[in-house]
């Protein structure tokens, strides 16, 4: 396993070798990326903005556009953004993460399956492509934020805008499997509001503090 900076030409060559469609990668930012070769395990959070150190900051302190993981990525904490100008994250494998909290302009591409406890999205200026499944105990998509593509199954407790009458079409998913019951059945009460819905700020605070989000892990 190694970590280094690569050019945009090197990144696109890797994407093509790994079978990532041109229609997917051509919507990413052009520039220099941090490449981690092999499976990666991040103990803690993975911030997608420059104000915080990234997981491979010691090996590649200079960063431009974003990150490419040529393998599976496991994050014990959260993947989150803070302000506009968020970095791109491309995972050429599976993504496993405690929580995903997006409120700005993230670009995330995952070629394999994505598994999380909670996924929260709130922004229109984003690019979110999941070529495999997107499974979470709870998913909340609001303010016209939704995946651009879910090539497999999107599953979990779903909190969607009232106008999303066709969840599969709205979420760009090949298949949708809504969970039975309510989020309170699986999530700790600290991340829910008075109506039993995922609370944006409470979720972010608990996620970044490294506290469990699910009842069966508290």
For residue range 62-92, list pLDDT tens digits in order.
666 899 999 999 999 999 998 766 889 999 9
Residue 40 token pair? 């990666």
Closest CA relative to residue 40, chosen from 104, 92, 105, 113: 92
- What letter would DSSP give residue 87? P
Domain count, the chain: 1
pTM of the model: 0.95
- Residue 187: inside a domain: no
For residues 144, 209, 53, 31, the Cα torsion angle rounded to the nearest 10 degrees is -20
* The pLDDT of residue 87: 87
Closest CA relative to residue 73, chosen from 106, 105, 34: 34
Task: For residues 149 and 152, give the distance between their C-alpha atoms in angstroms, rounded to a whole number.
Answer: 9
Q: What percent of the chain has pLDDT over 70?
A: 96
- Residue 53: inside a domain: yes
* The pLDDT of residue 56: 84
Does 174 score more than 70 pLDDT? Answer: yes
pLDDT tens for 139-149 read: 999 988 999 99
Band the pLDDT of 150: cuts 50, 70, 90. Answer: very high
* The pLDDT of residue 50: 72
Task: For residues 190 and 132, give the distance between their C-alpha atoms in angstroms, rounded to a whole number.
Answer: 30
What is the chain's mean pLDDT, rounded? Answer: 93
pLDDT tens for 17-26 read: 999 999 999 9
- Residue 51: inside a domain: yes
- Residue 212: inside a domain: no
Task: For residues 123 and 196, give the distance between their C-alpha atoms in angstroms, rounded to a whole number.
Answer: 22
107 beta partners = 88, 127
Looking at per-residue confidence, does 124 or 7 come out higher? 7
- Residue 76: inside a domain: yes
Strands (E) in 25-126, as ranges, are 33-37, 40-42, 46-47, 66-70, 73-80, 88-91, 95-102, 107-110, 114-122
Task: For residues 122 and 205, give the distance between their C-alpha atoms in angstroms, rounded to a whole number.
Answer: 16
- Residue 95: inside a domain: yes
> Are 96 and 115 spatial neighbours (Cβ–Cβ below 8 Å)?
yes
What are the residues whose beta carbons fall under 8 Å from the beta carbon of 93, sequence distance 6 or more? 39, 69, 70, 71, 72, 73, 110, 111, 112
Residue-number span of the structural domain to which 36 is assigned: 2-182
- Residue 194: inside a domain: no
- Residue 215: inside a domain: no
């Amino acid at each position: 396993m190694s970590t280094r900076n690569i050019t945009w030409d090197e990144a696109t060559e890797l994407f093509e070798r790994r079978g990532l469609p041109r229609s997917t990668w051509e919507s990413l930012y052009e520039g220099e990326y941090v490449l981690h070769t092999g499976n990666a395990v991040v103990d803690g959070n993975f911030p997608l903005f420059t104000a915080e150190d990234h997981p491979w900051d010691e090996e590649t302190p200079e960063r431009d556009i974003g990150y490419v993981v040529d393998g599976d990525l496991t994050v014990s904490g959260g993947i989150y953004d803070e302000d506009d100008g968020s970095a791109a994250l491309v995972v050429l494998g599976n993504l496993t993460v405690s929580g995903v909290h997006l409120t700005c302009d993230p670009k995330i591409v995952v070629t394999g399956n994505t598994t999380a406890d909670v996924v929260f999205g709130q922004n229109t200026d984003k690019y979110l492509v999941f070529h495999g499944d997107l499974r979470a105990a709870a998913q909340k998509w609001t303010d016209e934020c939704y995946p651009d593509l879910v090539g497999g199954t999107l599953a979990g407790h779903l909190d969607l805008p009232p106008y999303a009458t066709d969840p599969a079409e709205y979420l760009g998913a090949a298949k949708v499997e809504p969970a039975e019951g309510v989020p309170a059945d699986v999530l700790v009460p600290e991340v829910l509001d008075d109506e039993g819905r995922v609370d944006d700020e409470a979720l972010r605070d608990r996620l970044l503090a490294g506290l469990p989000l699910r009842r069966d892990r508290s």
